[in-house]
Structure formats: structure tokens, C-alpha cells
Amino acid sequence: MTSRERVFALLNHEIPDHMGLFEHFWPETLCQYWVHQGYPMDTAPEDLFDYDIRFCAGWLNTEPFMNSSEVLEESEEWRITRDGRGASLKYWKNKSGTPEHIGFDCVTPEIWANKYREPLLETKRERMGDPLEAKRQVEEVRKRGKFAMFGNLFVFELMRATIGDVNFLPALLLEPDWIRDFCQVYLDFYRNHYALLFSEAGTPDGIFLYEDWGYTNGLFCSPKVLADLVIPYEKALVSFFKDYNLPVILHSCGDIRKAVPFIIEAGFDCLQPMEAKAGCDVVEFGKTYGNRLAYMGNINVVELGTGDKERIKEEVVGKVKALNEMRIPYFFHSDHSIPPTVTYDSYRYALDLFHENKWYGK
């Protein structure tokens, strides 16, 4: 099977010749650490490690006010900017990570309605980037037998980015009509812009949606609130993509165990990354939900970061063999992204173990 055929099978909850392979990295892992450990910086990791999935163009600009970002303050180590959502955020310059939330302008339903809502109602071609470049990238990925993916954030992450956690989380309870309107506006925004993009660029092979519903100790809101205010819009967007025969992968960090039934209900085809550090266990998911989902991730980077081959082997082989025996559709991937604490040699050793055990039925 080609990589593309294998990914399609796994996302269709079928069992192909062997498990899939993909990965995300923190940027500094490659350019600041691994480059000194033997990693060839002239080679992209997806080529070096032969991943099955490749990201292409197709990321929409979702800011109400595009190209309006401004630098408010900066030093040698960090920069504070105000973006096109009215959010002031502090970013590290020399390492990645979640930006510090300094302040937000869109903090009430009235400000949303009077200032930020209307710019999102019009479908604008410039929000799509270059459709011809997206088409070219998809065609190139397919020529190589790989799976071409578009990706984007959706409503939970957009509320976090526009309204801010300290504002939108209370609003889930106190201002539910605002939340519903926000979600509906962006649902329509996505459907309109992706319909236009697909008409000009064609479709990719699948969609990757990023929605961080959890943190270390659980969901950011109750399962009931999530089900009432968020899942209907997730389900509607997934349904839109399914009309184009596109499978959809959900990225959701943290402890999302109580959300898995809603993820299945919404029609997502695959769950990623299932953070082991937050209590998620892909083997238990497989036992509970079987092949109602495909799974990507859950390889604990804390274990990989020890450099201890026995611990790495126990983590990798234990999970891969268990999933193999249950015939669960699975992609090997870390439980978030590979951080600098994982050495180049440790990651390669983990991949060697995966390749030895990835074949279904063996």
C-alpha cells in the first residue's frame, strides 16, 4: 500500500498492512538541539522519517481585521503584539510555547456585535492565501504517494484567541447566547471560505482541526456545557467536510477522556494526540471505543526524554503491540509534539521499535 492508501484505510477505521506514522515537533527541537546531535537540517523531518501525512497550504486567515498586527513592546527575549483579533499577547523570540495573555479587547457581547462580528460575515478571497499554490502542493504530495492535509483552528481555539480564557470560559455559563452566535458566525465563515477554496484549488485528502478542550486535570468546561454549546458546531463543520468526502482528524490537548463520546458523536474520524501526561491512555480508549475512532499519538514524551532504552521500549512496544492485538487503527505519534528533552537518538530508537512492531497481524 502507498502511504496515502494506508491513511485513508486507517481513517475509515479499517486495518491496512501496517500502522501509520506522523509527528509534530516544537520548532527549537530541530533547529537548536537536534542539529547538534546529528540531525541533517537540510532535510525536512517528514522526508527523513518518511511520514504518511503532509500538510499543504489551505490555512484560512480567521482574524476579523487582517494584516493589522502591531508590535507594542519588545526586548531581546520576547515581543508583545496586538493582533487582528484585538488580543495583546507576549511571545518568546527564541523558543516556542503558549503566549502569555496580556489583554483582550473583545470581552463583552456588545463589543463582539459592534466591532468584531461584521468583518467575519463577508467571504473574502484574500483569507485563503493562494489557491493555485494550495492545488500545487496537494498534487505534489499525491505524486509522492502521501496524504495531503489542510489544517485550521476552530471555535474553541478561536474563542480563546479572540475573547481570552478568563473571559470566554465564564461566558460559557453567563452569556451562552454570545457563545452560540460566535460559533455560528465562524461556522458559516468556514463553510463559505472552504467552499470557495475547494472550488478553486480542489480538495485535499483530509482536514486537521485543532481544538484544545482539555488541560492537565480535565476539560476546560463541563461535558454538558461542551455538548450544548460547542459540539453542535463541531458536528456541523465535520458534516460539511464529509460532504466533500474528507476525513477529519481532531487535535485536542489535555485530559479529554470525558469528551471522547462527543468526539465520536460529532463524526470525527481520528483523535490526536491523547496526552499521556494528562492521563489519556490509547490502549484504554481502544478497549472502550474500539474502532469507532482511529487514534494518533499517546507516546509519552516524558518516557522518551529519559533516554532510557528499556523505558522507551516499554512505552512504545507495550502500546503498539496492544493496539495491534486489538486491531485498532493507529498512527504512531507523540502525546503532543517532540520537545528538546527528547534526543535525536532516542526518537530514532523509538521509531525503530515502532517499525519492528507496526505490521498488523504480526
What's the number of domains the chain is made of? Answer: 1
| CA 313/CA 108 separation, integer angstroms | 51
Q: How far apart are CA 196 and CA 125, in angstroms?
A: 8
Residue range 135-148: mean pLDDT, rounded: 97
* High-pLDDT (> 70) share of the chain, %: 100
Q: Could you tell me if 298 and 281 are in contact, meaning their C-beta atoms sit under 8 angstroms apart?
A: yes
- Measured from the Cβ of residue 232, the count of other Cβ atoms closer than 10 Å reads 15
Tell me if 305 is assigned to some domain: yes
Three-state SS string over 152-189 comes to: EECHHHHHHHHCCHHHHHHHHHHCHHHHHHHHHHHHHH
Residue 287's pLDDT is 98
Q: Is 160's pLDDT higher than 90?
A: yes
343 C-beta neighbours (distance < 10 Å), count: 18
Which pLDDT does position 58 carry in this prediction? 81
The answer to whether the CB of 247 falls within 8 A of the CB of 11 is yes
Does residue 95 form part of some domain? Answer: no
* DSSP β-bridge partners for residue 338: 25
Mean pLDDT throughout 74-92?
94
Residues 93, 79: Cα–Cα separation, whole Å: 7
Residue-wise pLDDT for 13-49, tens only, equals 999 999 999 999 998 999 999 999 999 999 999 999 9
Please provide residue 220's backbone torsions phi and psi, each rounded to the nearest 5 degrees: -70, -20
With beta carbons less than 8 A apart as the criterion, state whether 160 and 179 touch: no
- Alpha carbon distance 79, 99 (integer Å): 10
Q: What is the CATH number of the domain that holds 228?
A: 3.20.20.210
* Amino acid at site 84: G
C-alpha cell at 66: 487582517
For all residues of the chain together, what is the average pLDDT?
A: 96
Residue 127 has pLDDT above 80, yes or no: yes
pLDDT bin (cut points 50, 70, 90) of residue 362 is: low
What pLDDT sits at residue 180? 98
SS3 47: helix
Boundaries of domain holding 176 = 3-63+106-357
What pLDDT does residue 42 have?
Answer: 93
| C-alpha distances in Å from residue 221, one per residue of 156, 267, 271 | 11, 21, 19
Residue-wise pLDDT tens digits, 276-296: 999 999 999 999 999 999 999
pLDDT score, position 354: 98
Note the pLDDT of residue 95: 80
Give pLDDT tens digits for 325-352: 999 999 999 999 999 999 999 999 999 9
Beta bridge partners of 92: 78
Whether 98 has a pLDDT exceeding 90, the answer reads: no
Query: Cell for 180?
Result: 452560540
Is residue 70 in some structural domain? no
Q: Is there a domain that residue 83 lies in?
A: no
Quick check: is 82 in a domain? no
pLDDT at 94: 81
Question: What confidence tens digit (pLDDT) does each residue in 180-221 have?
Answer: 999 999 999 999 999 999 999 999 999 999 999 999 999 999
- Contact of 23 with 333, CB cutoff 8 Å: yes
Torsion angle defined by CA atoms of residues 25, 270, 120 and 90, in that order, rounded to the nearest 10 degrees: -30
Q: Which residues contact 82 (CB under 8 A, 6 or more apart)?
A: 69, 70, 72, 88
